[in-house]
Amino acid sequence: MADLLGSILSSMEKPPTVHDQESRRKAREQAARLKKIEEDEKRKKAEFRKKMEKEVSEFIQDSALQKKKYNPMGKIERSILHDVAEVAGLTSFSFGEDDESRYVMLFKKEFAPSDEELEAYRKGEEWNPQKAEERRRLKEQAALEMEEASRTQKRPASPNSNYRDKYSHLIGTSAAKDAAHTLQANRTYGCVPVANKRDTRSIEEAMNEIRAKKRLKKGEEEATGSSSSV
């Protein structure tokens, strides 16, 4: 019986000490503070979202505005603003080097930024449409010039001057073919026109002339032979 009573007494929890009571009190207070902080954060997020919804609505209704830039804000605030913009049908981007300097810009869908504009914001530069158009025009001009240069290099090489001009001091200003049509007969250099070479004698006259030449030649040979024998 004594053993049973001792077992029951040992299984019962001991009354908390003063130290245990203080620890539990602190734990309850800490849990209450955390709960209050969470509630405050939740309330602040709701208030911030409501404020952003109001500003986004005013931005949409203002037809003179195409974009809206906000001051730098924390990651949670940026996330809320991006969500509000998406629900409202807007385009939103965050820019900035570090978390403390990052800010949000909203754009209406019909005025969505170009790649060049986004690149300028990412570099921390102000967007200037006039300067951007000038840069775009210069890039297009440079591309056209490079394309033209590439085509010129592939094109077969051609002489810069006409051979007639290069050798005009030798062949004159007319080509040989052109000069052949205007060639004039020159007796001094033995150039006789074809018309002058035609034989107008009859056959009989030609044969008599040939016989006379043969007789003359034969007589000259005989005379030469007689003088040699003497």
Q: Look up the CATH number of the domain holding residue 49.
A: 3.30.1370.50
Among 72-76, 81-85, 142-146, whose mean pLDDT is lowest?
A: 142-146
16: tokens are 């908390």
What DSSP line would sit under 34-45, residue for residue? HHHHHHHHHHHH
Is 62 within a domain? yes
Is 186 within a domain? no
Instruction: Summarize pLDDT for 45-64 with one digit per residue, the tens.
Output: 999 999 999 999 999 999 99
Is 63 within a domain? yes
pLDDT confidence of residue 172: 56
Contact 67, 60 (CB under 8 A): no
What separation in angstroms does the CA of 65 have from each of 60, 69, 80, 128, 132? Answer: 8, 11, 22, 16, 20
What DSSP line would sit under 128-161, residue for residue? -HHHHHHHHHHHHHHHHHHHHHHHHHHSPP--SS
Averaged pLDDT for residues 175-186: 49
Supply the mean pLDDT for the chain.
78
Averaged pLDDT for residues 174-203: 53
Domain that residue 67 falls in? 25-113
Among 81-85, 142-146, 196-200, whose mean pLDDT is lowest?
A: 196-200
Is 44 within a domain? yes
Q: Which residue has the higher pLDDT, 181 or 26?
A: 26
Is 194 within a domain? no
Look at residue 155 and tell me whether its pLDDT is greater than 70. no
* Secondary-structure percent of the chain, ordered helix, strand, coil, rounded to 5: 65, 5, 25
Is 47 within a domain? yes
Which residue do the tokens 């030469």 mark? 224
* 166: three-class secondary structure by DSSP: helix
What separation in angstroms does the CA of 132 have from each of 92, 136, 143, 229? Answer: 21, 6, 16, 118
Q: Which residue has the higher pLDDT, 179 or 164?
A: 164
Is 10 within a domain? no
Instruction: Summarize pLDDT for 106-154 with one digit per residue, the tens.
Output: 999 999 998 889 998 998 888 877 777 887 788 888 888 888 888 887 6
Taking the whole predicted model, whether its pTM rises above 0.75 is answered as: no
pLDDT confidence of residue 7: 66
Confidence bin at 174 (pLDDT 50/70/90): low
Is 135 within a domain? no
Contact 60, 84 (CB under 8 A): no
The DSSP symbol for 108 reads -
Q: By C-alpha distance, which of 89, 87, 78, 69 is closest to 48?
A: 78
Which residue do the tokens 């809320």 mark? 80
What separation in angstroms does the CA of 229 have from each of 172, 211, 216, 218? Answer: 63, 27, 20, 17
Amino acid at 226: S
The total of structural domains in the chain comes to 1
Percent of the chain with pLDDT over 90: 30
Confidence bin at 104 (pLDDT 50/70/90): very high
Confidence bin at 227 (pLDDT 50/70/90): low
Q: Which residue has the higher pLDDT, 82 or 155?
A: 82
pLDDT confidence of residue 194: 52
